[in-house]
Structure 1
């Protein structure tokens, strides 16, 4: 590899990653909140892409307010998942925050934005594989395990990893 002509050229050569922030939100029975975007055939977790200059936590708060009309309780990072490239997307880092348990009154206050989301549901963790895309189901199983253990896990394509 040749040495960059300048620091600016070096910085320009550093890879950029997309980033996403999602919420692990559960009801009082331990079921996981999922949302259905109008522009997809699949279910997702609440959250979205991190905008330029925005932190993952700020993106999570913004997305929950925009998508659900709720302000989350303090969230703890459950997992960071390296998502491999899947065209048209480049690789990315996906942050899943444990945003706690929603009470029945908080659930009643959920308002979905027309034109973006058309449904929400609470699914038992055991059912996630049959509802979510495979990589997201793996990511959410990792996030649930981390949240339940009170730890933060690193994952690759949804599978928890550690140093050999």
Structure 2
């Protein structure tokens, strides 16, 4: 008789992983999905049995056609449940600075993404959902301060 794994009965959380890619002027790279009304950070859903880091590598290859080696974790953000979605854990890794040559090599999947743009903090705030804008600002600051931050619903917890 086999003993079932107790951990298989524990609750599961939705998880997403993104990457903070910047240019040499400190602007962040955002993508415009075809299936949402707002822009996003490059990245996506962490699949079953996939690490968040591996998800970022896979998603950036699929979304931008770029090979990336994610750096350190900048943000962990717990997002509470809403009527239309479950709670989730969202992570942002440091992707470093893209060279102009790397940016010129970006290739988007037309069925998934309309476009991409380098954005200042103000421009990102205009294009992103309020929650994601808070997360991106926290990631930019964490990168500048050489730290990592924990957020809940995009807000620092002290």
TM-score in terms of structure 2 length: 0.93
CA distance in 1, matches of 2:53, 2:6: 29
Q: 1:23 aligns with which of 19, 22, 38?
A: 19
CA distance in 1, matches of 2:127, 2:32: 11
2:133 counterpart of 1:137 = yes
2:111 counterpart of 1:115 = yes
- Report runs of 4+ in structure 1 exceeding 3 Å deviation: 7-13
Q: 1:72 aligns with which of 57, 63, 68?
A: 68
Deviation of 1:76 after TM superposition, in Å, equals 1.2
CA distance in 2, matches of 1:126, 1:87: 29
Per-residue Cα deviation, 1:11-56 (whole angstroms, up to 9, x for no partner): 4552210100001111111111000111111101100000000000
5+ long unaligned stretches in structure 2: none
Residue 97 and residue 155 in structure 1: after superposition, are their counterparts in 2 closer, same or farther (change >3 A)? same
2:16 counterpart of 1:36 = no
Q: 1:100 aligns with which of 96, 101, 110?
A: 96
CA distance in 1, matches of 2:71, 2:61: 14
The count of corresponding residues between Structure 1 and Structure 2 is 156
